[in-house]
């Protein structure tokens, strides 16, 4: 099969690899029909995630058709169309039973930091990702969700990661009626976090980014106020002024470890003095009012970051962080998509054949051609 | 009333089985890698090899909370990339270029 494969920082190619097969009785093999590139894939591409091995395939947002099932699988048969959460969860361990599917003990027992995930280095279990023609899906009775017959893969593709992540970001902010919410980041997760902040009763939503076309899109798609931090001498001063000097009730950080905005943070991240640049995190802490809430879904990794924990503590902030426990939110969000409240596929700006994935990565990373979200289509799924 | 007498409203493992992830598979004990003759659900298509593999093995012995573990893994990633460039084609090419450079050097010396 063809699969996007990593060959070192900045180097990915589509190469021939053996087809996956059933390794465990609870596996399925999925024929991928739609897969997307996530902003967090760029951290892998840039070599920032430890234990990313040459030869591994990325991709944790995908949907497809069940091709083969293991003898232990009960809920799926070949031919079923499913969308798959990026978490790999067993459903029965201590964490899964509490709904923390992102923290599954069984799928990544070697690590205390993260549960198993598709295509996200051996730090999360070494599972092959879905930017390929086929992918092995463990614990198939727990994660994958069947796609209703009246919906297409692209309608629900983002239930695999970014839509539930945006939803969870808003949920963790414990948004009350009329709250002012600042969302850092107008990438796909930030866009959905803005949308969900409105759905949860925010009175005002302010989006911060530095890319003009993404701020314009956020204004159109989500009807938010926008701030371009590159046009501000001091973005925190601007945000304080916009919030009567007090700060926001909730700050949502949807940027992660490759944030721009501060040269010292960026340089120290690139030199591995710290694990990437936590500029957006820094701003989130400072832009929240005292007693406010900061919700963090931007991806950061080990070993450590310079972090204003003293400020957070003295301001009595509530910090909520985490990898999204996707399976909890999928059914509810599917209903919101179906009834038209959320137009999930409205953020797709580019579609590429799988063979052009390296070009897609380049366009997505460099934010060319007003790119918001790239979807890759394997050859067998091209019309 | 003793604490253990108090009804627990379906928290964690005590939650109504109809509303708990993993049910009924948990009840039937089919899921869970430890019940299937020790077959783990994880595998890898990229096994450890070479110097990068040695460094990774050493890193895995260090706990998560020590930065040393992660710095060793990052170093192993870079070495892995260099090892992946040592293909027969690249070695032949390097050998050819090296041989040509040496021949030109000694030819100049011998003149």
Q: CA–CA separation, A328 vs A324, rounded Å?
A: 9
> Mind telling me how many Å the CA of A332 is from chain B's nearest CA?
15
Q: Are A155 and A149 in contact (CB under 8 A)?
A: no
pLDDT at B80 over 50: yes
pLDDT of residue B28: 44
Average pLDDT over residues A353-363: 96
Would you tell me which residues 294-323 of chain A have a C-beta closer than 8 angstroms to some C-beta of chain B? 301-304
pLDDT band at B34 (very low <50, low <70, confident <90, very high): very low
pLDDT at A30 over 70: yes
Q: Are B56 and B73 in contact (CB under 8 A)?
A: yes
Q: CA–CA separation, A232 vs A237, rounded Å?
A: 9
pLDDT of residue B16: 56
Quick: pLDDT tens for A193-216: 999 999 999 999 999 999 999 999
| Domain extent listing, chain B | 3-35, 50-110
Tell whether B22 is within 8 A of chain A (Cβ): yes
Q: Which residues contact A128 (CB under 8 A, 6 or more apart)?
A: A3, A20, A56, A57, A118, A119, A135, A136, B45
The percent of residues in chain A predicted with pLDDT above 90, rounded, is 74
CATH topology of domain A2-161+325-381: Quinone Oxidoreductase; Chain A, domain 1 (3.90.180)
The residue behind tokens 């700060």 is A247
Beta strands in chain A (DSSP E): 2-8, 11-16, 28-36, 61-69, 81-84, 87-88, 116-117, 134-137, 145-146, 180-184, 204-209, 225-228, 248-253, 288-296, 318-321, 350-353, 374-377
- Say whether B42 and A126 touch across the interface (CB within 8 A): yes
pLDDT at A191 over 70: yes
Is residue B79 helix, strand or coil? helix
- Say whether B84 and A8 touch across the interface (CB within 8 A): yes
pLDDT of residue B18: 59
Average pLDDT over residues A25-32: 94
Average pLDDT over residues A46-52: 91
**Which of A76-85, A170-179, A291-300, B4-13 shows the lowest mean pLDDT across its residues?**
B4-13
Nearest CA to A247 among A283, A279, A215?
A283
Q: Which residues contact B7 (CB under 8 A, 6 or more apart)?
A: none
Number of residues written out for chain A: 383
Quick: pLDDT tens for A314-347: 666 778 888 899 998 999 999 999 999 999 999 9
Q: CA–CA separation, B69 vs A123, rounded Å?
A: 11
**Which of A113-127, A158-172, A173-187 shows the lowest mean pLDDT across its residues?**
A113-127
**The pair of three-digit structure tokens given for residue A93, joined into one six-digit string:** 């361990």
| Domain extent listing, chain A | 2-161+325-381, 162-321
**The pair of three-digit structure tokens given for residue A98, joined into one six-digit string:** 């509490």
Q: Which residues on chain B are in Cβ contact (under 8 Å) with A327?
A: 21
Nearest CA to A70 among A29, A130, A116?
A29
Would you tell me which residues 184-243 of chain A have a C-beta closer than 8 angstroms to some C-beta of chain B? none
ipTM: 0.80
pLDDT of residue A166: 95
Tell whether B86 is within 8 A of chain A (Cβ): no
Q: Are A254 and A197 in contact (CB under 8 A)?
A: no
Which carries the bigger pLDDT value, residue A292 or residue A300? A292
Quick: pLDDT tens for B7-30: 444 444 455 555 544 444 444 433
Q: Fold identical between A2-161+325-381 and A162-321?
A: no
**Which of A297-301, A359-363, A376-380 shows the lowest mean pLDDT across its residues?**
A297-301
Average pLDDT over residues A354-383: 94
The residue behind tokens 């799988």 is A354
| Residue A247 φ/ψ, nearest 5 degrees | 105, 170
Q: Are B59 and A156 in contact (CB under 8 A)?
A: no
Instruction: Find the radius of gyration of the CA atoms of chain B.
Output: 29
pLDDT of residue A131: 98
Average pLDDT over residues B3-7: 47
Tell whether B26 is within 8 A of chain A (Cβ): yes
Quick: pLDDT tens for A107-162: 887 777 788 999 999 988 899 999 999 999 999 999 999 999 999 999 999 999 99
> Mind telling me how many Å the CA of B87 is from chain A's nearest CA?
13
pLDDT of residue A251: 97
Which carries the bigger pLDDT value, residue A282 or residue A383? A282
pLDDT at B2 over 70: no
Q: Are A30 and A84 in contact (CB under 8 A)?
A: yes
Q: Pinpoint the alpha helices (H) of A174-305.
A: 188-199, 212-222, 235-242, 263-270, 279-287
Judge: domain A162-321, CATH 3.40.50.720.
yes
Which carries the bigger pLDDT value, residue B63 or residue A167? A167
- Say whether A141 and B77 touch across the interface (CB within 8 A): no
Check residue A281 and report its DSSP letter.
H
Average pLDDT over residues B41-58: 85
pLDDT of residue B67: 83
Tell whether B18 is within 8 A of chain A (Cβ): no
- Closest chain A residue to B19, measured at CA: A97
pLDDT at B38 over 60: no
Quick: pLDDT tens for A228-271: 999 999 999 999 999 999 999 999 999 988 788 877 777 777 77
Q: Are A297 and A254 in contact (CB under 8 A)?
A: yes
pLDDT of residue A58: 97
**Which of A47-61, A66-80, B38-52 shows the lowest mean pLDDT across its residues?**
B38-52
Q: CA–CA separation, A45 vs B50, rounded Å?
A: 22
Please tell me the pTM assigned to this model. 0.81
pLDDT of residue B40: 57
């Amino acid at each position: 099969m063809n699969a996007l494969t990593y060959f070192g920082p900045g180097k990915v190619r589509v190469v021939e690899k053996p087809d996956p097969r059933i390794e465990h009785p609870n596996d399925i093999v999925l024929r991928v029909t739609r897969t997307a590139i996530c902003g967090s894939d760029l951290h892998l591409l840039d070599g920032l995630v430890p234990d990313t091995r040459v030869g591994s395939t990325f991709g944790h947002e995908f949907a497809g058709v069940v091709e083969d099932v293991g003898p232990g699988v009960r809920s799926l048969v070949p031919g079923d169309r499913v969308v798959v959460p990026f978490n790999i969860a067993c459903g029965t361990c201590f964490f899964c039973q509490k709904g923390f599917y992102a923290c599954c003990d069984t799928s990544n027992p070697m690590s205390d930091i993260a549960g198993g995930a598709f295509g996200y280095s051996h730090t999360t279990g070494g599972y092959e990702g879905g930017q390929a023609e086929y992918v092995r899906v463990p614990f198939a009775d727990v994660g994958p969700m069947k796609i209703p017959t009246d919906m297409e893969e692209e309608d629900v593709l983002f239930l695999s990661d970014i839509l539930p992540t945006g939803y969870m970001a808003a949920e963790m902010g414990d948004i009350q009626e009329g709250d002012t919410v600042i969302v850092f980041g107008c990438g796909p997760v930030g866009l959905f976090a803005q949308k969900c902040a409105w759905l949860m009763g925010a009175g005002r939503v302010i989006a911060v980014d530095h890319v003009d076309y993404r701020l314009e899109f956020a204004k159109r798609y989500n009807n938010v106020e926008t701030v371009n931090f590159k046009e501000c001498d001091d973005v925190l001063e601007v945000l304080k002024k916009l919030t009567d000097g007090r700060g926001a009730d909730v700050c949502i950080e949807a940027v992660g470890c490759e944030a721009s905005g501060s040269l010292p943070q960026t340089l120290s991240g690139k030199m591995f003095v710290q694990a990437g640049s936590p500029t957006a995190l820094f701003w989130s802490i400072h832009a929240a009012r005292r007693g406010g809430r900061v919700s963090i879904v931007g991806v950061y990794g080990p070993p450590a970051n310079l972090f204003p924990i003293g400020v957070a503590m003295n301001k009595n902030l509530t910090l909520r962080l985490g990898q999204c426990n996707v399976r909890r939110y999928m059914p509810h969000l599917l209903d919101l998509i179906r009834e038209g409240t959320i137009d999930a596929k409205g953020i797709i700006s580019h579609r590429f054949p799988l063979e052009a994935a390296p070009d897609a990565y380049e366009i997505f990373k460099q934010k060319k051609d007003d790119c918001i979200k790239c979807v890759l289509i394997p050859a067998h799924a091209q019309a | 009333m003793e604490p253990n007498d108090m009804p627990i409203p379906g928290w964690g493992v005590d939650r109504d089985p109809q509303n708990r992830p993993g049910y009924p598979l948990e009840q039937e004990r089919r899921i869970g890698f430890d019940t299937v003759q020790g077959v783990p659900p994880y595998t890898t298509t990229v096994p450890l090899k070479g110097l990068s593999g040695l460094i990774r093995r050493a890193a895995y012995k260090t706990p998560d909370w020590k930065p040393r573990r992660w710095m060793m893994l990052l170093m192993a990633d870079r070495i892995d990339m260099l090892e992946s460039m040592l293909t027969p084609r690249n070695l032949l090419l390097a050998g050819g270029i090296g041989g040509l450079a040496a021949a030109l050097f000694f030819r100049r010396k011998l003149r």
